[in-house]
Amino acid sequence: MKTKTDLIKGTRFLRLPFNLVVKGFILSALIMTAIQAPLQAQDTYTKPSWWFGVAGGANLNYYRGTTQNLNSDLFVPKAFLHGDGLGLYLAPTIEYYKPDTRWGFMFQAGYDSRSGSFDQVNTPCNCPADLDAKVTYITVEPSLRLAPFKGNFYLYAGPRMAFNLKKSFTYKLGLNPLYPEQAPTADVTGDFSDVKSMLFSMQVGAGYDIYLSSQQKQTQWVLSPFVSFHPYFGQNPRSIETWTMTTIRVGAAIKFGRGTKIEEPIVEKPLPLVAVVAESDVKFTVVSPANIPVERRVRETFPIRNYVFFEVGSTEIPNRYVLLKKEQVKDFKEDRLEVLTPKRLTGRSAREMDVYYNVINILGDRMNRFPNAKVTLTGATLEGSKDGKEMAEVVKTYLVTVFGVAPARITTEGKLKPRLASESKSGTQELVLLREEDNRVSIWSDSPEILMEYQTGPNVPLKPIDINVVQVAPLDSYVTFNVEGADKALKTWSLDIKDEMGTVQHFGPFTGETWSIPGKSILGAKPEGNYKVTMIGETKSGNTVKKDASFAMKLWTPSENEMGMRYSVIYEFNENEVTPTYVKYLTEVVTPKIPKGAQVILSGYTDIIGDADNNKKLSLARANDVKGIIEKALAKAGRTDVKLVAYGFGEDDKLSPFENKYPEERFYNRCVIIDIIPK
């Protein structure tokens, strides 16, 4: 009858660890996936096949069966049936598996604690009894490794051989609660008898390799969280009674291996085809507007970058920002910022910089107009989070003392780097400029009253400001020169443009297949002109290719009633896709305002950080990104009446909207400017 009872309890025991194992696998998989960090991989070294390291973790031990005859000297009055405990697992590990294969081998051998405490029982004298078991082993665990998807996730299974190190116990017999004045019984310590010197069982588990170093390094490191299940089969620690152990192990292994250098294959280079380039390989065309608008009045919706940049090593607001006195606050208006101009301004796009350098005043004015609005100021500097918080406190103090904003509405914090850092995405070049950009106070808010239209959340920019400007040499006045085939055939190309009087202007050298020049730069002071242009290309083999074309231009002044619209989209450093905030803005705010039959010119720009050719490609990718979003919004509205043109001007210092002396100018140059021209 006793055997039957034990069997039933054993069956109940089997269900419990199984459920725990399933839950453990699911939890571990979620944790592993969440902490996986993508690292840039470069084909410099192969991934190692042999890995060496150490594994550590916690054993969750579960006891079942009957334990009563502890040794020849002690047969306790009541059998212990259940228990659990926590033990340490620590072992060196060796693994072998070839990259991008499914099968491999693992071997671990080390310290394995299966200690625990049995559930308390009541003896016939109504006395509580406790039993603690300290059972440890040297474990040897070879395993077969399977990566089912040839990736980082793997399963493993194999035998377990355990050699007993320790087998001690502590037995405690308490007092009958009805007779509290009895003398306490001394604890009994000793070793279990009939303990098997070796156990042979099995284990099955799962893990996930998280690469801590890239293939650019020969020595590569991996962190592998894992979870494994050791069933009770073969884990009867003694040759008498029915005591069994089941263990769930949760831990991680840190491993390293050495990759093999990937040698570049030696390829015999054929004779370069570009050595002989026929003129027919390059096609030259000119696209010139018949009428060249000299200037156009534009209502510009200018974005407010929610950053205040500080000089490195200083916690004072730079004097290029407009700082008011308390008595000036009553006269401050967002639409009259030209009254309050910065002390230091660069020459290009000064009107727009007037707006930005009032960013703190704009914030203070909006917080006064919307008394429920709250903001968080995050100061970031490599000088330390303490200095970062001090920078944020300086901005807060200005808002409190000058604009009278309640201190409780402004939260400050300090960090080493801002949430959207420039340096983290750049590699190792031009760190001085990038770190200068990360030395700033960021303005974050969840209050929609001060944020971009229809947007909420901590990463949303401040609401833009509408200003009226005069646009000199608008983009629809540009003459575009197309050299089809230049990328493959030409090293550089230049332009000689001759007017009717024989005067020649030289432009270039250029790279790529397209370049645009303002029509006013070609016409100069003349109201109109007919031109012949010669494209002179230098082939990659040193030969020369020439192509001719002609075009005519005439200056034209738009009517007073014609008012263009301009919007700007700001990109993060080295990115060519806008954030979801700007997708919503372009779709729901900008596109519905495009008049019927209008032309939309999208001009992409970059800052001066990085290679000039790459920046030109990046700027065009940004312009096409905005173009795609607007085209999608127009198609959804059933509109086909709008003409969209995309340009990429890169970091061209003659065409970029702002200079690149200060961080804020570089931030604003990472943009696409959207010019909407009425029919």
Q: What's the pLDDT tens digit per position in 178-193? A: 888 888 889 999 999 9
Under 8 Å between Cβ of 664 and 441:
no
Q: What is the pLDDT of residue 473?
A: 61
Q: Is residue 271 part of a domain?
A: no
Q: Which domain holds residue 501?
A: 279-295+473-556
Q: What is the pLDDT of residue 452?
A: 79
In order of 74, 115, 170, 288, the CA distances from 188 in angstroms are 9, 17, 6, 102
How many structural domains are present in the chain? 4
* DSSP states along 337-348: GGGS--SS--ST
Q: What phi and psi, each to the nearest 5 degrees, are found at residue 117?
A: -125, 135
Q: Identify which of 239, 233, 232, 226 has the alpha carbon closest to the alpha carbon of residue 89.
A: 226
Q: Is residue 418 part of a domain?
A: yes
582/464 Cα distance (integer angstroms):
12
**Residues 453 and 504 placed together within one structural domain of the fold:** no
Is the sign of the CA dihedral 646, 652, 655, 660 positive or negative?
positive
pTM of the model: 0.53
At 200-243, the pLDDT tens digits run 999 999 999 998 887 678 899 999 999 999 999 999 999 999 99
Cβ neighbours of residue 559 under 8 Å, at least 6 residues apart? none
Q: Identify which of 197, 241, 289 has the alpha carbon closest to the alpha carbon of residue 64.
A: 241
- Write down the mean pLDDT value for the chain: 84
Three-class SS state of 572: coil
Across 14-23, 277-286, 446-455, 596-605, least confident range: 14-23
> Which residue, 407, 426, 460, sits at the end of a domain?
460
Q: Is residue 606 part of a domain?
A: yes
**Residues 373 and 480 placed together within one structural domain of the fold:** no
**Residues 482 and 574 placed together within one structural domain of the fold:** no
106/141 Cα distance (integer angstroms):
8
At 516-547, the pLDDT tens digits run 888 888 888 788 889 999 999 888 888 888 88
Under 8 Å between Cβ of 333 and 464:
no
Cβ neighbours of residue 454 under 8 Å, at least 6 residues apart? 584, 585, 588, 589
**Residues 447 and 487 placed together within one structural domain of the fold:** no
Q: Is residue 615 part of a domain?
A: yes
Q: How buried is 529 (Cβ within 10 angstroms: 0-12 exposed, 13-18 middle, 19+ buried)?
A: buried
Angle at which helix 385-403 crosses helix 359-369, to 10 degrees, equals: 60
**Residues 72 and 188 placed together within one structural domain of the fold:** yes
**Residues 544 and 588 placed together within one structural domain of the fold:** no
At 387-398, the pLDDT tens digits run 999 999 999 999
Q: What is the pLDDT of residue 36?
A: 43
What value does the mean pLDDT take over residues 629-656?
90
Q: Is residue 272 part of a domain?
A: no
Under 8 Å between Cβ of 356 and 668:
yes
Q: What percent of the chain has pLDDT over 90?
A: 49
Q: What phi and psi, each to the nearest 5 degrees, are found at residue 556?
A: -150, 135
How sure is the predictor about 454, in pLDDT bands with cuts at 50, 70 and 90?
Answer: low
Q: What is the pLDDT of residue 341?
A: 54
**Residues 402 and 532 placed together within one structural domain of the fold:** no
**Above 80 in pLDDT, residue 349?**
no
**Residues 177 and 323 placed together within one structural domain of the fold:** no
**Above 80 in pLDDT, residue 197?**
yes
Q: Which residue has the tokens 């000058």?
A: 402
Q: Which residue has the tokens 């100018």?
A: 665
In order of 422, 489, 551, 667, the CA distances from 380 in angstroms are 12, 48, 54, 16
**Residues 446 and 481 placed together within one structural domain of the fold:** no
Cβ neighbours of residue 433 under 8 Å, at least 6 residues apart? 609, 663, 666
At 127-170, the pLDDT tens digits run 999 999 999 999 999 999 999 988 889 999 999 999 999 999 99
Q: Is residue 263 part of a domain?
A: no
Q: Is residue 550 part of a domain?
A: yes
**Residues 623 and 529 placed together within one structural domain of the fold:** no
In order of 78, 132, 443, 624, the CA distances from 169 in angstroms are 16, 6, 62, 74
Q: Is residue 468 part of a domain?
A: no
Question: What is the domain-level CATH number for residue 663?
Answer: 3.30.1330.60
**Residues 181 and 217 placed together within one structural domain of the fold:** yes
**Residues 241 and 100 placed together within one structural domain of the fold:** yes
32 vs 291, higher pLDDT? 291
Q: Identify which of 545, 521, 548 has the alpha carbon closest to the alpha carbon of residue 534.
A: 548
Under 8 Å between Cβ of 99 and 47:
yes
**DSSP helix, strand, coil percent of the chain (3-state; round to 5):** 25, 40, 35
210/206 Cα distance (integer angstroms):
13
How sure is the predictor about 419, in pLDDT bands with cuts at 50, 70 and 90?
Answer: confident
DSSP-assigned letter for residue 317: P
What 3 state SS string does 181-199 have? CCCCCCCEEEECCCECCEE
- Residue 522's H or E segment, with its range, is helix 519-523
Across 3-12, 344-353, 384-393, 556-565, least confident range: 3-12
Question: What is the domain-level CATH number for residue 515?
Answer: 2.60.40.10
How sure is the predictor about 2, in pLDDT bands with cuts at 50, 70 and 90?
Answer: very low
265 vs 474, higher pLDDT? 474
**Above 60 in pLDDT, residue 426?**
no
Farthest-apart Cα atoms in the chain, separation:
125
- Residue 54's H or E segment, with its range, is strand 50-64
How sure is the predictor about 429, in pLDDT bands with cuts at 50, 70 and 90?
Answer: low
> Would you give the distance in Å from CA 667 to the centre of its chain?
19
How sure is the predictor about 41, in pLDDT bands with cuts at 50, 70 and 90?
Answer: very low
Under 8 Å between Cβ of 217 and 193:
no
